[in-house]
Chain A
């Protein structure tokens, strides 16, 4: 029979201390091992980005009229307007007599300078057709602004003359 070994309290305390120390060191090492490189800094950047995204989304929801300004170049928008206007007129049974879109000088003031595109057209057709064309233009993006609008009744149709503008983001 093997004689039992007498263990001193000091030895127990020492063994427990070494065990606790080893556990703390191992835990710390594992914690570092399980954490990706630059974790804290990357989380900070993410938090900043998320806060900015939330703020921007909230402002965008409140501002509503997104898309009111075209983001393409003013000359491209002018070309696009002269292409889509005949198609819209055809859709409402209205005959275009003239259509012209001309880029103008951008305004220089403000944080977001805009480049206007002057739009002029003349057309004739039924009252419903002309009003449908104008209503479609009023709901299109970018937003259409009007300077003058003349409607003249003819024998069997209505003649319209439109002068207005749309605005594009000015390219710097």
Chain B
């Protein structure tokens, strides 16, 4: 049982405070309007105080219904001012009627106000957190949107450039077929460079013909125009003109590849 009592109070040190003793004095005031009766009752309570008014705290309550032309019944409640430790509520017997009376702010209301304040504080803190979180979320969304848009623009530009590259690549691939028997000019220049390097010191070359990969030279005299051995040189059966001979030169690499076999 002791444990049960302790559990109910929650703590062995807990002891509800005892309220101060309340003195009651019932009286009547002459008939009049309700607020006039209340003012008269306030005056009566002060004048009829059992102790000097500076030493007491008092409350005045109407204890009977107001009606026109009838005296008003009131009760004055007094406590010693020094006994007051804080707001409290109690029930007092006034002429056989149990009447609740509160000194200071009602404890229940104070507790409710405290709870309300706490709840409001927590709610505001939570609302603040939510606002901050939403703000951060919106900022994050805006930043992500900016990055994404930038990346999309960059990708669109690069994609366009990639399309052009692909087109150029297709064209370059087509170029391996389209020229037919034509050769890059660099191939002809390579043959001319070979002819210049392989020219025999005493040869008299006065014309070079390059026709779709075939190289021929015209010389004066019957002597071979080139001294190099990496290409075969073959003279025409008869001179083009008196003393002028035409020499055909095999393409580069044809000696080893069996071009003349």
Chain B positions within 8 Å of A71 at CB level: 167-168, 171
Chain B positions within 8 Å of A143 at CB level: 175, 184-185
Give the interface SS of chain B, mostly helix, strand, loop or mixed. Answer: helix
Interface residues of A (CB under 8 A from B): 1-6, 26, 30, 33-37, 39, 42-43, 45-46, 49-50, 52-53, 56-57, 59-60, 63, 65-69, 71, 107, 110-114, 116, 131, 134-135, 137-138, 143-153, 164-165, 167, 169
Of all chain A residues, the one with the shortest Cβ separation from B173 is: A112
Chain B positions within 8 Å of A138 at CB level: 184-186, 189
Query: Which residues of chain B from 124 to 166 have a CB within 8 Å of any chain A CB?
Result: 130, 133-134, 136-138, 140-141, 144-145, 148, 151-152, 155-156, 158-159, 161-163, 165-166
A144–B130 CA distance with the chains assembled, in angstroms: 70
Binds A, one of B52-60, B206-214, B221-229, B237-245: B206-214
Chain A positions within 8 Å of B175 at CB level: 65, 68-69, 114, 143, 167
Please state if A59 and B210 are interface contacts (CB–CB under 8 Å).
no
Inter-chain CB contacts under 8 Å: number = 176
Residue in A114, A131, A150 whose CB lies within 8 Å of B209: A150
Interface residues of B (CB under 8 A from A): 7, 9-11, 13-15, 111, 130, 133-134, 136-138, 140-141, 144-145, 148, 151-152, 155-156, 158-159, 161-163, 165-175, 177-179, 181-189, 192, 205-212
Give the interface SS of chain A, mostly helix, strand, loop or mixed. Answer: mixed
Chain A positions within 8 Å of B145 at CB level: 36-37
